[in-house]
Structure 1
Amino acid sequence: MVMSNLKNLNLDANQEDRAKAIRDSLRDAIVDRRLAPGAKLSEAEVGSLYDVSRTVARHALQMLTFEGLVTSERNKGAFVSNPSPEEARQIFTSRRLIEAGLIEEAAHRMQPDDFAAFRQQLSKEAGLKANHGAKARREEIKASGDFHLMLTDVAGNEILKKFMDELIARSSLVIALYGRTGTSSCGNDDHSDILDAMEAGDVARATQMMLRHIDHIEADLDLRSVDSLTLKEALLQ
């Protein structure tokens, strides 16, 4: 899916694999905050550090740009995305407005199979919370975001889904960069409680708990600046 949205750089299979490995390594450094928001990612330096061509390095950075972890500026280069405190607040304000209505819409459409799928998702989240490290953290943040996207799917509104896809991607970036606890703050208990209320037909309670849940996520953010390592220092750690 990512590939269909990226420029075709005519890479062979080996180069494609190298680009993906570089993407994963850089993503770990970003999520671990070894590379702070705003840090420059030079194609030439990335290529040199990983002993690959600039074309392969460019493709790795493009994949990170598509994921929202990197931004590209014409004539300036690529940088670790740097959501401002105000942007972070706007993201979660938007989520409150949208997800309150989303709960009501999804609750009316939920079927037994849907509840079973959500329970399976909650089990996956619980399993990931026991793991440690950058990869586990990425997977836990993604799984937690997937819970919210599953609600959007059940609601069946394609326009709303486009908004939520962007909001979850952008909030996941903010959580990865600024979450104090080192996890997504999308607690499994919060999700379970929301699902319990929906299954009991108590839409008002489910909505209230969703809003409180989003409050918890935002309250966990630490938007203070951090000292960034150089690209080489970050990758050697």
Structure 2
Amino acid sequence: MARSPSPPKPAARPASKPATRPATKGKPSSLADDGDIEERIYRSVFEGVTRQRLAPGTKLPEASLCELFGVSRALVRKVLQRLAHDHIVELRPNRGAIVAMPSPEETRQIFEARRALEAALVRMAVRNATKAEVAELRRHLKEEHAAMHRYTQPDWARLASSFHLRVARLARNPILERYLSELMSRCSLIVALYEPPGNASCEHDEHAVVVDAIARGDEDTAVRAMEEHLLVLERNIALDRPASQRSLGQMLGLG
């Protein structure tokens, strides 16, 4: 005998959902999405500065960034706080954010501090470097040379910057190494903002002179070579870039 159909179960009441922010670009908001878009906004501004699309003093209105990326003001403000912490932007009370504008005096002070710190680190590196570590520095120089001749500017800039940190690591003083890392970040921003196009931020041959002196155990020559190298880098800076006439989206590479 056929079984009677079971009576239908009463419909379950829908669970109440917590309030969420408006979906971004048609997708439900989530913490993972927020992290991804936060990083995207940060990288867009950071690369806009380092690739000289965003000139010093360029305004970064919260409303414009919200519209360009389809996010809330709270997320934009979080990104701007990160960029300000890294000295990429300046947050001005009641006037909004702008791309950082290091003054000539601040630029001089930052490079002066870096020269003094690297002189101490290079001297210690000469005393502590092993033959294996010198050989590793020479391998690094070969990578620099290859990147330079491939004309891959991002790779070249990354390798040139990491050379200084590799030398600092040989000093066996992580505190001074950390201070140098912070100073280098600020120097890199200044170079990205103000160095005329076509100049190399670090010259390969100057790095080679430093490594040769370290290999010989010649402290004084290594220190002089590093100081001259940093002076050349500072002299290449021109603090007079004109303002761009492009839209914020174009400067961020979004249009």
Please confirm whether the aligned pair reaches a TM-score higher than 0.5, indicating the same fold: yes
Partner of 2:105: 86
Partner of 1:4: none
Partner of 1:217: 233
Contact 1:140-1:183 at 8 Å conserved across structures: no
- Displacement of 1:105: 1.0
Letter in 1 for 2:94: N
1:117-156 residue pairs with structure 2 within 5 A?
A: 117-130=136-149, 137-156=153-172
**Do structure 1's residue 53 and structure 2's residue 69 form an aligned pair?**
no
User: Identity across aligned pairs (percent)?
Assistant: 35
- Displacement of 1:13: 1.3
Structure showing the higher helix proportion among its residues: 1
1:30-179 residue pairs with structure 2 within 5 A?
A: 30-130=49-149, 137-179=153-195
C-alpha spacing 1:183/1:14, structure 2 compared with 1 (3 Å)? farther
- Displacement of 1:97: 2.1
Q: Secondary structure at the match of 1:155?
A: coil
CA displacement, residues 155-204 of structure 1 (integer Å, 9 cap, x when unaligned): 12244223312211111111111112445521122112210111022222
C-alpha spacing 1:40/1:208, structure 2 compared with 1 (3 Å)? same
**Do structure 1's residue 19 and structure 2's residue 3 form an aligned pair?**
no
Letter in 1 for 2:76: A
C-alpha spacing 1:137/1:69, structure 2 compared with 1 (3 Å)? farther
**Counterpart Cα distance in 1 of 2:222 and 2:145:** 20
**Counterpart Cα distance in 1 of 2:193 and 2:230:** 17
C-alpha spacing 1:138/1:56, structure 2 compared with 1 (3 Å)? farther
Contact 2:58-2:243 at 8 Å conserved across structures: no
**Counterpart Cα distance in 1 of 2:166 and 2:215:** 15
**Counterpart Cα distance in 1 of 2:39 and 2:145:** 28
Partner of 1:3: none
C-alpha spacing 1:120/1:66, structure 2 compared with 1 (3 Å)? farther
1:197-212 residue pairs with structure 2 within 5 A?
A: 197-212=213-228
Letter in 2 for 1:67: D
Structure 1, unpaired ranges of 5+: 1-9
C-alpha spacing 1:18/1:156, structure 2 compared with 1 (3 Å)? same
Contact 2:131-2:215 at 8 Å conserved across structures: no
Partner of 1:5: none
**Counterpart Cα distance in 2 of 1:37 and 1:47:** 21
The RMSD of aligned alpha carbons is 2.4
**Counterpart Cα distance in 2 of 1:39 and 1:219:** 24
- Displacement of 1:77: 2.5
Count of aligned residue pairs for this structure pair: 225
Which runs of structure 1 show a deviation greater than 6 angstroms over 4 or more consecutive aligned residues?
A: none
Contact 2:134-2:214 at 8 Å conserved across structures: no
2:249 counterpart (228, 232, 236): 232
**Counterpart Cα distance in 1 of 2:31 and 2:38:** 11
Q: Secondary structure at the match of 1:185?
A: coil
Structure ID, larger Rg:
2
CA displacement, residues 67-114 of structure 1 (integer Å, 9 cap, x when unaligned): 321222343322211111121122222222222222111100001232
- Displacement of 1:130: 4.4
**Counterpart Cα distance in 2 of 1:118 and 1:11:** 44
Q: TM-score normalized by structure 2?
A: 0.77
